[in-house]
Structure 1
C-alpha cells in the first residue's frame, strides 16, 4: 500500500530547456543568423554561389493578430498596411535587413532579384519591369550602330545605285513590253 501512495504523491517531472540553451552545431552567418543544418557533417556552403544584391519581399499573411515588434518591422518595409497596394517591397541584401527578414519570415515571401539582361541605369528606369519570380527585365533603348550609319550613308551616296523613280519606270516598261523582243 505504501508503494501506491508514493506513486500518487510523486510530482510529475517536467523536462524543459532553459532560456540560455544553445543547440550545438549551428553555423553562424553575418547579421546574427544561426543556421542549424539537419546533418552538420554533410552541410557545406556552395562555393560558386553569388549572393543577390536585392530581395523582393511580398507580404503573404495579414498583419492582424501579430505582436507589435513584427508589425513595426513590416511598417519599416512599408508592407505593414492591410491594403493590397503595399504588399511588395524591394530591400537590400545586407546583414541588418536580413536579420529583420529572419524575424518575419513566416509572414512574407522572399525572392532574390536577378538581372538577366543587365542592371538598369538611370535612363532605363522607365523601361524596367520586375516580375513575380524575381526577374528584373530591362528593355534597353535601341540605337543603330555607328558602322550601320556609315554603311547607309555610303549606299545613299553611291552613283551606280538606281533610285526609286528609275526602278518604277523600268519595271513598268518591262511589264508593258514583256514579250515584244528578245532577251
Structure 2
C-alpha cells in the first residue's frame, strides 16, 4: 500500500461518522410502540413525565431549612467552573462522599443547580426542632439518614473539658526535652555510663526549671 492510498484510507476513516438511525415512522408504520429514534417507547416517557408533573404540583408544607450535600463523583478531569462552584460549597476535597450542611436559600440552591450532576442532596429532618444557641454541644447529625437529634445527654460537662485540657508546658521545647530525658538514651541515663539518679530526680529538676521559665515568659509577654 502506497503512502497516498494509506493517507486516503486514514482520511476516510477519520471523516466517517457512524450515524445510527432508529425505527422512524416511515420504517415501521404497523407498530405504535416505537415512534422515535433509538427505539424509545413514547408511552413510557409520557407516564414518567406525568408522574414528574404530579410531584411538581404537590405543595411543600414542611420545607427543611438545611440540606445535607455530598459529592459522589471524582474531581479528576472536571471543568474549572465546576471546581469553582464546588469550592464555594465546600465540596472541593479529593475524597468523595464528604457530607456538608448547606442552608436552603436561593443563593445556595442556584449553586447546587449548576453542579447537580456531581452531587447528591438530602433534606435534614429535625424531629426535636431546629437547634438554637443553647443546644450547642448537644446536637448529633446522622449523615446516613439526615436526621438531626437534640439530646442534652450528648453535651459534655465543663468539668470533663477542663480535665481533658493539658497544660501549655507540654508543648514545644519542653515536650521534646522531657521525652529526651525520660527515654533513658541521653545524658545521665546512657547505657554506657553509670546511672547516678536511679529515681529520676534529674527529670523532676528539669521539669521545675522549665515550668519556672514558662511562667516567667508568659508573665513578661502578657504584662
Q: In structure 2, what is the equivalent of residue 151 of structure 1?
A: none
Q: Is 1:78 the equivalent of 2:93?
A: no
> Unaligned stretches of 5+ in structure 2?
1-47, 154-223
Rounded Cα–Cα distance in structure 2 between residues aligned with 1:41 and 1:93: 22
Q: In structure 2, what is the equivalent of residue 134 of structure 1?
A: 146
User: Shift of residue 102 of structure 1?
Assistant: 1.4
Rounded Cα–Cα distance in structure 1 between residues aligned with 2:51 and 2:125: 30
Match of 1:62 among 62, 69, 74: 74
Q: SS of the residue aligned with 1:117?
A: coil
RMSD over aligned Cα, in angstroms?
2.7
Q: In structure 1, what is the equivalent of residue 100 of structure 2?
A: 89
Where in structure 2 are the equivalents of 1:154-173 lying within 5 Å? none
User: Shift of residue 110 of structure 1?
Assistant: 0.5
Q: In structure 2, what is the equivalent of residue 10 of structure 1?
A: none
User: Shift of residue 71 of structure 1?
Assistant: 0.5
Where in structure 2 are the equivalents of 1:13-162 lying within 5 Å? 38-39=49-50, 43=54, 44-47=56-59, 49-83=61-95, 87-132=98-143, 133-140=145-152
User: Shift of residue 40 of structure 1?
Assistant: 8.8
Q: SS of the residue aligned with 1:114?
A: coil
Rounded Cα–Cα distance in structure 2 between residues aligned with 1:122 and 1:93: 19
> Unaligned stretches of 5+ in structure 1?
1-36, 142-183
User: Shift of residue 93 of structure 1?
Assistant: 0.8
Q: Structure 1's 94 and 41: CA in aligned 2 closer, same or farther, altered over 3 A? A: closer
Q: In structure 1, what is the equivalent of residue 32 of structure 2?
A: none
User: Shift of residue 45 of structure 1?
Assistant: 2.0
Q: SS of the residue aligned with 1:38?
A: helix
Q: SS of the residue aligned with 1:123?
A: helix
Rounded Cα–Cα distance in structure 1 between residues aligned with 2:63 and 2:57: 12
Structure with more helix by fraction? 2
Superposed CA deviations along residues 93-115 of structure 1, whole A, max 9, x for unmatched, are 11221121112122111010110
Structure with more strand by fraction? 1
TM-score normalised per structure 2: 0.42
Q: Structure 1's 123 and 87: CA in aligned 2 closer, same or farther, altered over 3 A? A: same
Superposed CA deviations along residues 42-90 of structure 1, whole A, max 9, x for unmatched, are 5352235321100011111111111111101111111101036x82211
